[in-house]
Structure 1
Amino acid sequence: MKKIVLIGFLLLVVIAGGLLYWSDWADQTGERTDAGPMIERLRVEGVCEQCDLRFASLRELDLPQARLARSVLRDADLKYARLPDADFAKADLQRAEMEEADVAGANFTGALMLASDLEKGRATGAVFRDADIRNADLDRADLSGADFSDADLRNTGLKRSVLTGAVFRNAKLDGARLERARAAGADFTGARLPQADLDRIQAQGARFVDADLRGARLSHANLTGADLAGANLDQTTLQRTNLSGADLTGTKGLRQSRLSTACGDADTRLPPGLTIAPCRSAAPAGE
């Protein structure tokens, strides 16, 4: 009898160990066996706040105004999803795949979005205040009218993105890549952009008041009518940059040698003692 009990006990230990091993393996490989009920609840009710949806497959999910605040969506597949006006406040979206997703008007306030992928996505009018979006891929995304105030976008890709009227007040964009972005009327007041790449950016009428642009690249950029008053332009590259009608009064670190490679017009406002050559008709405009 004792032998039978001992054998039974050993079998239970082996089974329990196997289950623990499977659980650990599943978590590491992205396999989830418990997300189904939460996904179904989300589809039916449109609400799944504080849910654990790591590695969940939500591809092509069509659920406007979904409520996912504080949910964990790490490594989730949201490609091609349609989630306009959704609430992702303080959600964990690290490494989430959101290529070509529609999250227009969505709320990402305070969200964790490190290394997330929103390439070619649509996030017009979305709110990303205080969000951590470092090392993310927002290339070719439509972010017009979006609010990135106080967000952390260090080393994030925004190449060829649409940033028309977007707000980046006091945002961190150190090392960000904004080549060929369309940012007419965007607001970068107080933003940090050291070493950022803004080559060929279209930023007509944009505001860079008190922005930190040290070492940034602005070659072939269109800054017609832009406001750069008080900006730090130390070591900023301005080769063939169009500064017609731009305000550069009070800028820091601006040297004549840098300015000599740019062009402007009679309405360009410069610090005392600096001059700028007039733009020719074929002057580059960021294209």
Structure 2
Amino acid sequence: MFQHSRLTEFLLGLFAATSILAPSAAHALGGDGDKVVARVVTFGGACEKCDLSGRRMSGAQILGANFSGAALVGSDMRSVRVLGANFSGADLSRADLTDSEMIGSNFSNANLSNARLRGVQARGVAFSSAIMVKADLRDTEAQGANFSRADLSSAQFNDTSLQGAVLSRVDGRGASFRDAALQGANLSSGRFDRAIFVDASMDGAVLNGGQFDGADFRDASLHRAALFGADLSGARNLDQDQINHACSDASTRLPKGLVPRTCRGVTPHWSPKAPPAPPAPPAPPRP
């Protein structure tokens, strides 16, 4: 495996080289040199706590690499393939990961505030305890992803696939889940004050013990959703028909005029397909 210094020097040299290609060379490669060269780059190894902030990495493949604690603030990582890589504790604030693939990777405790992750493939990815304030995850595929204890305040999950995802104990205040697919997702003990669930599919989701003051549930589907111990007393646009299709009891706090509905049997859960196994990291070059 690459040593820290060797991989860092390699990456810095690579990204510097792609930024100084002559116009003729870029034209010969079929377009902008930064993007074309980066698309064919594949690397693994260790780059712990290295600083790649603001670097152009679009189209690169990162296989089994260790970027824990690394700084990638504002980096261009569009269409990057991140497979089985470790970005735990990394700073990716304001990074652009639009249309990237990050299957089987670890972003726990990472800073992804104001990051752009629109259209990302993130099935089964670990985002536990990550800081994702105002992150853009619209149109993302995140089935079975783990966001437990993450800060998702004011993040955007519109049209995002979150079936079977874990969002327990998150700070989701002001987050938008408009038209999101949350079937079987676990939102237990989360703070979702002022969150938007308009037109969201929440069938079989677990909202037990969650706080939803000012959350908007207009036209959200709650069939067999578990609401035990949830505080929905200040929720907006929640009607009796939605409650009749959900599962609640005396521990559920509902808006004035609504009454809980007891369910019998086990609440069904949507089981996502297991994410693919992370690929083995590439072999280091011979000295």
Give distance in 1, aligned partners of 2:143 and 2:267. Answer: 22
Candidates 159, 165, 170, aligned match of 1:186: 170
Partners of 1:242 and 1:284 within 8 A in 2: no
Does 1:201 pair with 2:185?
yes
Check if 1:216 corresponds to 2:219.
Answer: no
Name the SS for the 2:26 alignment partner: helix
Report the 3-state secondary structure (helix = DSSP H, G, I; strand = E; otherwise coil) of the residue aligned with 1:54: helix
Once the 2 structures are TM-superposed, how far is the Cα of residue 251 of structure 1 from its aligned partner?
1.2
Aligned equivalents of 2:51 and 2:221: distance in 1?
44
Q: Helix, strand or coil: the match of 2:142?
A: coil
Question: Which residue does 1:273 correspond to in 2?
Answer: 257
CA distance in 2, matches of 1:148, 1:142: 13
Counting only pairs closer than 5 Å after superposition, residues 1-287 of structure 1 correspond to structure 2 as 23-28=26-31, 54-55=38-39, 57-284=41-268
5+ residue gaps, structure 2:
1-21, 272-287
What SS does the corresponding residue of 2:236 show, helix, strand or coil? coil
CA contact (8 A) 2:250 2:260 kept: no
**Deviates further, 243-252 or 20-29:** 20-29
- For residue 21 of structure 1, report the CA deviation from its aligned partner: 5.9
Deviation (angstroms), 1:55: 2.7
Identity %: 25
Shift of 1:145: 0.5
CA distance in 1, matches of 2:34, 2:49: 27
Q: Name the counterpart of 1:41.
A: none
Distance 1:219 1:89, change over 3 A: same
State the Cα deviation string for residues 59-96 of structure 1 (Å, max 9, x = none): 22222112100001010111221111111101000101
Distance change >3 Å, CA 30–CA 158, structure 1 → 2:
farther
CA RMSD of aligned residues (A): 2.1
2: CA distance, partners of 1:266 / 1:148? 34
Contact residue 25 and residue 33 of structure 2 kept, 8 A: no
Residues 193 and 31 (structure 1), Cα distance of their counterparts in 2 relative to 1, 3 Å cut: closer
CA contact (8 A) 1:179 1:200 kept: yes
- Deviation track 1:191-235 (CA, whole Å, cap 9, x = no partner) reads 011101111001211121110110001000111111112100000
Q: Secondary structure at the match of 2:29?
A: helix
Match of 1:40? none
User: Can you list the C-alpha shifts for 1:163-212, whole angstroms capped at 9, x where unaligned?
Assistant: 11111100111111111001211121100111011110012111211101
- Are the structure 2 counterparts of residues 56 and 153 from structure 1 closer, same or farther at C-alpha, using a change threshold of 3 Å? same
Any unmatched runs of 5+ in structure 1? 1-18, 34-52
The separation in 1 between residues aligned to 2:150 and 2:41, in whole angstroms, is 30
Secondary structure of the corresponding residue to residue 39 of structure 2: coil
In structure 1, what residue type is equivalent to 2:125? A
- Name the aligned partner's letter for residue 99 of structure 2: A
TM-score normalised per structure 1: 0.82
CA distance in 1, matches of 2:133, 2:256: 32
The total of aligned residue pairs comes to 250
State the 4+ residue runs in structure 1 displaced beyond 6 angstroms: 29-33
Change in CA separation of 1:75 and 1:30 when aligned onto 2, cut-off 3 Å: farther
Q: What amino acid is the match of 2:167? A: A
| Counterpart-to-counterpart distance in 2, 1:255 and 1:70 | 48
